[in-house]
Structure 1
Amino acid sequence: MPIVPDSKNWTWVLDETCTECGLDTRTVAFPDLPARVRANAAAWPHVLERSDARVRPDEDTWSPLEYGAHVRDVFRIFDGRFRVMLTEDDPTFANWDQDATAIEDRYAEQDPAVVAAELIEAAETVARTLEAVPPAALGRTALRSDGSRFTVESLGRYFLHDPVHHLHDVTA
């Protein structure tokens, strides 16, 4: 059964602490992002090895496997977004419908071990991209398809919230 799509605009996490996962992105320095991404990714294989990895806790919530596949794709999507921001002037990101992707790519049917390996690989790729960002590029800008404007720095903090929040979703 498909999950009801999340229609929240999560950009508020740039200005206040997330009361659900506890992350305050305002306290995260850009140079710390690669290590935080790697640490987050390192926790996912354990989650995806659990016997309940394919089980949705209720009909409105993704399973740990579905969340893991989503986080893998978040790492991939944001790696592409950072690369575009660093090579194009003020690009506009194409819309990414994460809920449609979950259905089309059959997240619930994927192999948890494969998802874990791909998640680690995608995290390492985006971590390396973030490590290569020169300080002078942190102010480069882009627009999301809904008109939200980000700098490389603010997109980094916004991006971090997603895997942190979803790890909390499956471990809390």
Structure 2
Amino acid sequence: MPSTPPPPVPGDDRDWTFVITDGCPDCGFQPLPPAELADVFVKRSTRWRDVLSRTDAAQRPAPTVWSRLEYAGHVRDMLAVLQERVEAMLGQEGPVFADWDGDAKAVELEYWNEDPQQTLAELQRSAAQVGRLLHGVTALGWERSGRRSDGMSFTVATMSQYIAHEMEHHLHDVGA
């Protein structure tokens, strides 16, 4: 694994919130009933095992495209963001979420330098924690809301859909 940072990956400024209701034509994601979301995270986390077992998991396919390892680190951290935001929506009235820059987080945490098996274990642990959290959400809880710093409002259900898409889309990105 390289010890010096690879070139930055260009940011994606597309507004992906359309996937919450419309699904994603790129990866095939379709929105799910809230009650099914808890299990989706755990099931999808197992698909990363083969991805991160590859000998080239840390190699970028192109200089400005994340490696499989970097995508896995991003998904792991998005799951932690989901957990934090769902807990806030369930415990507070209308929380506002600080901006989260996944590209900056990748550089800060040096995803390219991580151990693939440790990243896998952490991703699966985060997915299991999110699954347990979502299994405990009541019918009214799914409608609890919060707002991103850019003004976009989410419910527990729509935030969970958004991150479920994130996980599926990045599995698609790495060919899994």
TM bin (shorter chain): over 0.9
Q: Report what 2:118 is aligned to.
A: 114
Question: Partner letter of residue 67 of structure 1?
Answer: Y
Measured in 2, the distance between the counterparts of 1:34 and 1:136 equals 16
1:15 lines up with 2:15 in the alignment: no
Q: Report what 2:103 is aligned to.
A: 99
Query: Which of 39, 46, 51 is equivalent to 2:50?
Result: 46
Measured in 1, the distance between the counterparts of 2:143 and 2:42 equals 24
1:71 lines up with 2:75 in the alignment: yes
Q: Give aligned-pair identity as a percent.
A: 39
Q: Report what 2:66 is aligned to.
A: 62
1:38, distance to aligned residue in structure 2 (A):
0.7
Query: Which of 6, 11, 15 is equivalent to 2:12?
Result: 6
Question: Partner letter of residue 53 of structure 1?
Answer: A
1:90-147 CA distance string (max 9 Å, x none)? 0101111111100010000100010000011010001111111111111111101110
The residue correspondences of 1:127-166 to structure 2 (distance < 5 A) are 127-166=131-170
Aligned residues: 170
**SS in structure 2 at match of 1:171:** coil
Q: Report what 1:169 is aligned to.
A: 173
1:88, distance to aligned residue in structure 2 (A):
0.3
1:5-25 CA distance string (max 9 Å, x none)? 111111011232311100122
**SS in structure 1 at match of 2:174:** helix
**SS in structure 1 at match of 2:154:** strand
**SS in structure 2 at match of 1:135:** coil
Measured in 1, the distance between the counterparts of 2:99 and 2:72 equals 21
Coordinate RMSD, CA, aligned: 1.0
Query: Which of 37, 41, 45 is equivalent to 1:37?
Result: 41
Measured in 2, the distance between the counterparts of 1:17 and 1:122 equals 24
Measured in 1, the distance between the counterparts of 2:170 and 2:46 equals 14
**SS in structure 1 at match of 2:122:** helix
**SS in structure 2 at match of 1:142:** strand
